[in-house]
Structure 1
């Protein structure tokens, strides 16, 4: 029972952390891929239908050219009517007939998608002009079904229908007839019609070249009749509920035909009253998400099997090792002889077994305890020695170095002056560490000492201006408040800029606050660098230094420590404010409450 519980526990701690990332990663990959695939599919389908609509409308625009010639040209219409109403033609009429016939039938020969063109004006003899037979009587013409459609036409000016043309009882041909009514010039009276017979095979072949193998594109009219369709063997138009699709306001939707789900994209043409519909099986569209799902499930199954095998092996191995450890402990408690030590340590359990046996035999516990006490004793001795190194040692050492440098030149020099100033600053910084605040006058005094060191170092590369509007002896500020800010101006603003720069230290006092501005005319900071420094100041100093590079740690530690001291002393509202502009300089502002 205990062994089963141990295996179950190992299974939970080992297998679940392994499976969860795979499951999350697979699910996210499927969802994200499916989302982008769906967007891409809808966009591609819409672009395809738009291109199809433009191509089809370009073909149907042939009717506009024909109509323009016979509708707007009153001379052609009048002459054609006279010819159709005459039983015997004069020579001029015959010439005119041939010219009009050539003009009307030329598109049929120039456009491969046009089967034939009929032009008919109402006349008692029912004569008409065709691109195949020329001028012919309706009663002797092989195609008469178009006339019934013309007679029962409603108020629409243009309409389309699918027809069968039986040419002399020999050749049957499917055509899409486009009708356009002809009117008397300047009136709404219908006087005739133009019939443009288009070969649907041409348009359907054009559609087949545009779409993918498993995609079906339908072109239907407002009466839910399919006029054009790609490969009819893939999907029968009778299976599609066109009324439901065309009634939907959404451009993209999903329908189910039989056992398959299809993604439907619809585009409407207001000019011809046609609806362009694309249907693609979702199994084709979402092939990649489906494959990702299969891969994810396969990885989960494989991971589960491998995890079970590894868990069983580790459980069996660890159980036997733990059983040996328990046996040794019980043997010691009962005073029985201990088993032999492992000859070779191959894992942590073998190490534990070896050390348990060694501990009990050699009383290692007492040795470790004695060793720990010796270590603590030596550590305390080291602390005692270190505590003897106090500030007096630093002062004495600097004083010796000072006199050595004077002895070399037989008089005070730059090095001795810098050492003397440094000794004053160390004394100021290390004396009375419990004293957190000092008079502002004293802080200014030692800041000037620090500036003297920097002036020697940089040979008048900068000038300092003090602008004080109050008595510094009246106010108290944190010790070493100004020195880190001036150091920051020198090292990061002035040192990197050619020419003489300036540092202005401005102090203003109100009834409740002291405001100190340290402004330099150095290189300044870019917006990105300034934003980075501000963000680092908002964090803990330790956290900031961990996230910074090695160079940034050394560069910004003064600002970070000063900002942290102000926050700990007065509160977060009294943190540093930094303004900077690249090429102009940097200004750091301190605002602290006045205290006595």
Structure 2
């Protein structure tokens, strides 16, 4: 049911597109993904087979190459003449030179076998001299790991990348110890494998291939600058250092790669070498990816052509439905006079004719409702205008009478003539009131009226009345309805000083908030009891349309705010006995409306 509901909510073209995708695109896409995966798998398997064969060939050729130094070392191990030259005691340097000159086997091996590039015999003999073949090992030699390991392994062969101090270069070298005499003294034989022969084995390899010793140092590589480096310096994974013979999947230089490793453990050797070949899956599948991209392009072009055909068929099928839908949209936007003509006697043609009849009936009904609403709106508009004028006119005599009474009482109590200032303030207040119409006035003018009223009241209450007017920046010229703030201030003076000998502080604050302007009139006067506050709130919440002969004070202000700005701008009163009262109202849009 859920699937049917979704399909029913779709447009005709989208339904046909989904059908096309389900029937043609998805099977083709799944088949393409399957064949692509198989092709990549086949390419990788062939490359792996090739690399494995190459690694095996490198291993065999390397094994053949190092057999030469291995055979030479076996001969020299049994060469008593070499041992005697290296270990006998010499009485003079002349005798040493003669012995070295007479022994030519090492030089003969170097000339006869191009697979080696050097032979060194290390033997401690105080009377001997150093030459190219026989060398007295100093501390820099005897402390090296390969030398210690040769002594430790007691004649077994070791293979490492060793520096030839005579040439200041590193070579893959065979090293092993041999007895100098029956006293137990030992020497160490080192034979260098020729670099060119070793490199020529790897030059034909198409993938990065290394020969690595057991210290994880590269003794030969088909990569430029690879020989002599640590295996980890070639941006390979640290895990490769511990891998034995086999094939592995890992990330090399951030690329998915295959690593094939073969071990080479020569005869009579305590350690061996590893041949490591690496190929990137991305490089191997590059050609296959090109074929795949070409296939994707051809398939995409075919699908686009098929999609165009489907789109054309869908357009022919859904064209009349689309015209009917557009006509409905016009009617929804208020164009009731629109008329739709669709050819044909099928369901769509019948639907269009019935829809035209419905539009005509609804149009007639809308005209009737609009006429009724227009008459009702005119009546309400007139009532609101009359109501607003009545509310505004009722305030002026109310506060003027209170002001005059304050001045009269002050003059009666103080019996002084300096009341001229109060009379001037009163005249200003009278003039402002008489000049005020039903329109809006600047906030500065309304606050000036409030200031005049408060100054007049200070003649009566003196230091018992203090006030503060605060206006936010840029709000002085804001347009507000007249007599909105002054009645609230008057209410704060009258009720705030009620039975309160210590006086009252009145604060008027006008500030801008996110959606308009907020006006606060607060005092620290006597406050209102909970019952009185509830009664005032109930009176303010009553309908603006209630008929009363007099509306003054809070109710008058509240009704005008509600008529002008809506219920959200009505007065909000908070009061607590002995603490004071705060009256707040809100003008949306900064009073510009």
* Range class of TM-score, shorter chain: 0.3 to 0.5
Larger C-alpha radius of gyration, 1 or 2?
Answer: 2
